Amino acid sequence: MLAQRDCLAAAAGQIQDLEGVVLELGLGNGRSYDHLRELLPQRDIYVFDRRVASHPDCVPEDRFLFLGEILETLPKANAQLGRGAVLAHCDFGSGRAGHDADVARQLALELTPLIVAGGVVVSDQQLASNQLKPMPLPDGVPLDRYFMYTAV
């Protein structure tokens, strides 16, 4: 949890001069969504998940919610939002290495068209894309615990 919070705080600082929305891929119980709302209260935050299972206080308005399989909802978001996201937080790891690697590979292809140049992607899984340049992690965040990228 601390690694995630530190990475999101660093990302918020990195994007402060960019205009655009935030993407939260994986609502879960809503903790990171709530943290993003605190860090970036002036930003619209679009949330993606299969279903809503979060604390009632951490449920976004319907207009900011994309429900369904992530690889199906990201193209819909691209059609609606275009390349307008300055930050994407990806929290989709299942603990199954092969499955997570497959999803990460596909996710990187669908996600990068949404991120503005200079935008930041924070992920619990490693993403491979020639559109994403790895960033240094904040002090104290162990390597391979979280990943940060800037969009080129």
What's the confidence (pLDDT) of residue 29?
81
pLDDT digits (tens, 9 = 90+) for 93-131: 667 777 778 888 999 999 999 999 999 999 999 999 999
SS3 category, 84: coil
Look up tokens 């997570």; give the residue.
100
How many Å separate Cα 66 from the centre of its chain? 13
* Residues in the chain with pLDDT values less than 50: none
Q: Given this model, what pLDDT does residue 126 score?
A: 93
What is the per-residue pLDDT for 98? 77
Q: How far is CA 151 from CA 17, 32, 117, in A?
A: 15, 21, 5
The correct answer on CATH 3.40.50.150 for the domain covering 2-151 is yes
